[in-house]
């Protein structure tokens, strides 16, 4: 039942270091696009006082459940169906929204819906954290990311590495203020915004 993504295994440690800085004891985290469930299970084991709500498309939930049952982690909640193209939120409140390597997979409408959802569920002071590759107006994409972008577009022309400036403008329109944009291994970024 459990799926396995090698990239999630590689990036979970560096992401953990950032999440240690930004999550607080008692937080409820809404994860969008949880994938295999590797991240959800690992972060729950590292943050026993944070509740983690994994979500993904309906066909992806079994692997998350398998990680949940194997880990027997009381803070890892039953995964819920969340399709960014529908735009509805499966829960009404979260202290943080976490979305890893997903905004280059969904269409731009899905990215718009992600930020609108964050605005709806976050309290003042809540944050949205994104991890993945981004393009910047003042420089070329790194060669590895340029190849990745081409491969994404060949599979789905509505997907692709997003412009940091366009995503930041979306966030601002939803009342979210950029807090940090940090380089991560393998030409990825950790970027987070806080609701004012
Ligand atoms: C590259 S995977 C990343 C998964 C996981 N966050 C990770 O880093 O291992 C992209 C994820 O986006 C999910 N996804 C694709 N379309 C989606 C949509 N419309 N709404 C929500 N999630 C979607 C996929 O099912 C998949 O789990």
- pLDDT tens readout for residues 128-159: 999 999 999 999 999 999 999 999 999 999 99
User: pLDDT tens digits for 56-111?
Assistant: 999 999 999 999 999 899 999 999 999 999 989 999 999 999 999 999 999 999 99
Number of domain units in the chain: 1
State both tokens at 189: 């970024």
Q: Is residue 187 part of a domain?
A: yes
Query: Would you say the CB of residue 158 lies under 6 angstroms from ligand 1?
Result: no
> The domain that contains 104 carries what CATH number?
3.40.50.150
- The predicted-structure confidence for 173-196, as pLDDT tens digits, reads as follows 999 999 999 999 999 999 999 999
Domain that holds residue 39: 6-195
- Model's pTM, two decimal places? 0.98
Residue pair 130/101 in contact (Cβ under 8 Å)? The answer is no
84 in a structural domain: yes
Joined together, the tokens standing for residue 4 give 């396995």
Look at residue 108 in the predicted model and tell me its pLDDT: 98
Distance 158 CA to ligand 1 centre (A): 14
- Residue located nearest, by CA, to atom 27 of ligand 1: 35
Residue 30's DSSP bridge partners are: 53, 97
Closest CA to 71 of 47, 55, 91, 94: 47
β-strands 162-163, 134-135: how paired?
A: parallel
Q: Is position 1 within any domain?
A: no
Is 92 part of any domain? yes
């Amino acid at each position: 039942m459990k799926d396995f993504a090698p990239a999630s295994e590689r990036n979970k440690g560096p992401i953990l270091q950032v999440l240690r800085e930004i999550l607080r004891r008692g937080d409820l985290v809404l994860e969008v696009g949880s994938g295999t469930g590797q991240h959800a299970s690992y972060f729950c084991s590292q943050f026993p006082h944070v509740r983690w709500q994994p979500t993904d498309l309906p066909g992806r939930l079994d692997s998350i459940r398998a990680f949940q049952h194997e880990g027997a982690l009381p803070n890892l909640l039953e995964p819920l169906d969340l399709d960014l193209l529908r735009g509805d939120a499966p829960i009404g409140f979260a202290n943080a929204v976490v979305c890893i390597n997903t905004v280059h997979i969904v269409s731009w409408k899905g990215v718009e819906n992600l930020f609108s959802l964050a605005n709806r569920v976050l309290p003042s002071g809540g944050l949205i954290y994104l991890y993945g590759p981004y393009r910047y107006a003042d420089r070329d994409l790194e060669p590895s990311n340029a190849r990745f972008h081409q491969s994404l577009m060949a599979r789905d022309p509505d997907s692709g590495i997003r412009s940091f400036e366009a995503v930041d403008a979306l966030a601002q329109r939803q009342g979210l203020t950029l807090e940090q944009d940090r380089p991560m291994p393998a030409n990825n970024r950790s970027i987070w915004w806080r609701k004012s």
